[in-house]
Every structure is written in C-alpha cells, then in structure tokens.
Amino acid sequence: MIERDYIMRMITMLTAVIARLVQLKEARDYPRALAELQQQCRSLLGVDTEFLCSFEPASLSHLFGSDPQAAAIKCFAAGVLLKERSEVLALLEQPDDAAADRAQALNLLLEAYQSAGDHIDARHADLIEQLAGSIASPDDALHQRLLAYQESLPARELPSDEP
C-alpha cells in the first residue's frame, strides 16, 4: 500500500510539473522552463539534470535506492523530466543537447520498465514509443535495449476473422 501511494504521489507531482512546463513553453519563457526543470529535478530526485545525463541508467537506478520499485519510479520521473528538457532545448535551437537528453530519457524510461517489470503508468509505453521514434540513429546499446523491451512486451492480439 505504501509503495502504491509513493508511485501515485510521484506521478501526481510529475503531472503538476509538466502542466507548469507547458504554460512556460506556451509563453515562450524557455529559460524559466529550464530553471523549473532543474528545481523540480532536485526536489523530486535530489540531483541536477546534468547529473542524470552523466551516468548509465542502471547506475542511476542503483543510486536511487535499494528498493527496486522506488528506483523504478525515480527512473521514470528522471526520464520524463529529461524528455521535457529535450523539448525545451530543441525550442532553444540546441539540437545536439536536445538529442542527448532524448536518448538518455529513453534509456531511463526503459530502465524503469525493466526494474519494475511493467509500465509505471498508462503513459509509459507511449513515452517510450514517442522517444524511440524521435531518435534517428540510436547507439548500439540503446538499440539493443529497445529491442529487448519490444521483445518483452506481450504479443498483441490479432483481429479475428470471425463476424
């Protein structure tokens, strides 16, 4: 019960952060959006956004704690925050930094899935698909991780020919 409450609280906080970021992006206040991302990253995860980009996702997962579920939700949150940051960086016409953040965000979302053994919430699979589609040439490690994720998904039901 406590674990589920923690996950729901974290998702609620992420939703509020994303809503604020949408407002800032619509107002074209990109520097403030980056500052908000940095502040929320520190608040939710206890680290800077640059820190998230400097470690392998599995290492970050270990740094986020010994409880696999808590580490998974933190990896999910980190992935969401980096995805948002990549969008702001793209708007600031910093394509290389935006691409690096997108790749790390995808890695973190895949790590969250692997650690939890399932999607964290209903948007998790959509975020992975969106990021995977936005990366033209993933490096070999990310490509392998994405293939492993796709193979782990349950087979989709095929439509029946029956009326």
11-58 per-position pLDDT tens digit: 888 999 999 999 999 999 999 999 999 999 999 998 988 888 888 887
pLDDT in tens, 135-157: 988 999 999 999 999 998 876 54
- Contact by Cβ (8 Å): 32, 86: no
pLDDT in tens, 60-82: 787 887 788 888 999 999 999 99
What is the pTM (predicted TM-score) of this model? 0.87
Question: Residue 146 has which token pair?
Answer: 């994405």
At 47, give phi and psi (nearest 5°). -140, 165
- Contact by Cβ (8 Å): 98, 87: yes
pLDDT in tens, 103-121: 999 999 999 999 888 998 8
47, exposed or middle or buried, with CB in 10 Å at 0-12, 13-18, 19+?
middle
Question: Where do the structural domains in the chain lie, given as residue ranges?
Answer: 2-152
What is residue 3's predicted lDDT score, i.e. its pLDDT? Answer: 62
What is residue 162's predicted lDDT score, i.e. its pLDDT? Answer: 52
The share of the chain scoring above pLDDT 90, in percent, equals 58
